[in-house]
Amino acid sequence: MPVISVDWWKGNDRAQRQELVSELTACVSRIAGCPEEAVTVIVRDVDPDHWGKGGVLADEILSGAAPAAPSPQDTGGQP
């Protein structure tokens, strides 16, 4: 009975959560070879001011007060 947990920033609406649950369920069901009814998806909306990335709170990244972390393309794949 696979359980998928998604933590993402608060702000997605019900339709987006439904699409996420539907697509993840189908994907895991196919790969694991289990019925969709066996798949559980837990979605947690996290306030960006409760989300730390690169040592800063994400609301500061969103507002432009702190720089976003470099993407893997910018660092040659290194963290």
Ligand X SMILES: O=C(O)C/C=C/C(=O)C(=O)O
Distance (Å, whole) CA 24 – CA 76: 29
Smallest separation, CB 17 to ligand X (Å): 11
- Give the strand pairing for 52-53 and 56-57: antiparallel
Instruction: Give the residue with the Cβ less far from ligand X, 7 or 36.
Output: 7
Q: Does residue 8 interact with ligand X by CB under 6 A?
A: yes
Q: Which of 23, 15, 16 is nearest to 41 (CA)?
A: 23
Residue 57 corresponds to which tokens in the numbers above? 């709170």
Q: Does residue 43 interact with ligand X by CB under 6 A?
A: no
State the binding string over 21-40 for ligand X (x if CB under 6 A, else -).
--------------------
- Chain residues that interact with ligand X, rule: CB under 6 A: 8-9, 53
